[in-house]
């Protein structure tokens, strides 16, 4: 299985983010703590479904996450691509009526 898409969801009120790195409808079987500021959602096979960042100022060590947890092919690269945009994603979007959550995909950060 190869990654189909990745999403970065930013909650501007909580100043937290969620990287959905496996958007194929896979259910989360368990959540494990990577560190005090990062939680990792895993499926039944131990593959990463998503990564929750509890504060936008957190450095996300993608290589260390990949050493400890299994990503579907392409998901580690997608996460590495989105991480630099974590701190600026909420600055590009004003708080509005859509539950203060903003969703970005990789295409949102590519030049037009």
pLDDT digits (tens, 9 = 90+) for 3-16: 556 778 888 788 88
pLDDT one-digit tens code per residue, 42-78: 999 999 999 999 988 888 999 999 999 998 888 888 8
Q: What is the 3-state secondary structure (H, E, C) of the chain?
A: CCCCCCEEEEECCCCEEEEECCCCCCCCCEEEEEECCEEEEECCCCEEEEEEECCCCCCCCHHHHHHHCECCCCHHHHHHHHHHHHHHHCCCCCCCCCCCEEEEEHHHHCCC
Domain chopping of the chain, boundaries: 7-92
Angle at 55 between CA 95 and CA 99, to 5 degrees: 30
Query: Is it the case that residue 83 has pLDDT exceeding 70?
Result: yes
Q: d(Cα 19, Cα 24) in Å, to the nearest integer? A: 13
Q: Residue 89's pLDDT is what?
A: 61
Q: What is the pTM of this model?
A: 0.75
Q: Residue 52's pLDDT is what?
A: 94
Q: Residue 64's pLDDT is what?
A: 95
pLDDT one-digit tens code per residue, 27-39: 999 999 999 999 9
**Torsion angle (degrees, nearest 10) of CA 103, 86, 41, 72:** 90
């Amino acid at each position: 299985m190869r990654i189909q898409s990745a999403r970065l969801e930013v909650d501007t009120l909580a100043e937290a983010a969620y990287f959905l790195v496996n958007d194929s409808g896979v259910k989360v079987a368990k959540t494990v703590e990577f560190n005090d500021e990062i939680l990792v959602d895993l499926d039944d096979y131990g593959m990463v479904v998503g990564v929750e960042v509890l504060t936008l100022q957190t450095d996300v060590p993608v290589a260390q996450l990949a050493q400890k947890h299994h990503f579907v092919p392409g998901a580690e690269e997608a996460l590495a691509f989105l991480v630099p945009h974590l701190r600026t994603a909420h600055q590009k979007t004003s708080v509005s009526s859509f539950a203060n959550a903003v969703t970005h995909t990789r295409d949102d950060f590519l030049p037009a």
